[in-house]
Amino acid sequence: MTNTKILSVFAIVAVAAMMGVSSIAPAYAAQKVVDDRTEFHSEFSFVGTTCGITSVFTVQQWSVDFIKIWSNEHYKIHSETVVIVTDDNDGDAVVLNIESVFNQQGNFSNNPQSIQYNEEGLCADGTTFSSVHVGSTLHRDGTQTDHHIGLF
């Protein structure tokens, strides 16, 4: 046989083997039993001081949350929120962004489990008024590691 024929036979056998494996693989894969997603938008006003400015402000908030749980007891909970604050007197953005992200994932019965929360607030003048990272990991052996960076 020539090299070309051997290569062709090898390719046909490899494709057939992959097709056979792919038809069996889903039986062993975990199935999603919960897959919920929620999007949220709100707007409200308040009187106060933020980023060194005292005024009446309008706050716009957008959130996306989801929870996923698989048949093998793995799970993931995730939430992202973005907030923009504008000064009602002139319509200018005072707070360009308050972004917060919460993430928790793991295995209900067998660990590990990880929880993390990050937040950062940025004023229009470039100053940061909150920046934090908080987290915790519950390891498979039952020990826990906590961490915290930044301040509110």
Query: Given this model, what pLDDT does residue 69 score?
Result: 95
Amino acid, single-letter form, for residue 63: S
Q: The tokens 């915290």 sit on which residue?
A: 148
Q: Which two tokens stand for residue 31?
A: 């199935």
Q: Count Cβ atoms within 10 A of the Cβ of residue 143 and give its class: 0-12 exposed, 13-18 middle, 19 or more buried.
A: exposed
Which residues, in sequence order, are bridge partners of residue 49?
Answer: 54
**Average model confidence (pLDDT) across the chain:** 81
Unique residue bearing structure tokens 């792919």: 22
Q: Is the pLDDT of residue 1 over 80?
A: no
Better-scored residue on pLDDT, 44 or 96: 44
Q: Does the global pTM surpass 0.85?
A: no
Compare 71 and 18 and report the one with higher pLDDT.
71
pLDDT-above-70 percentage for the chain: 80
Q: Locate the domains of the chain by residue range.
A: 1-29, 31-151
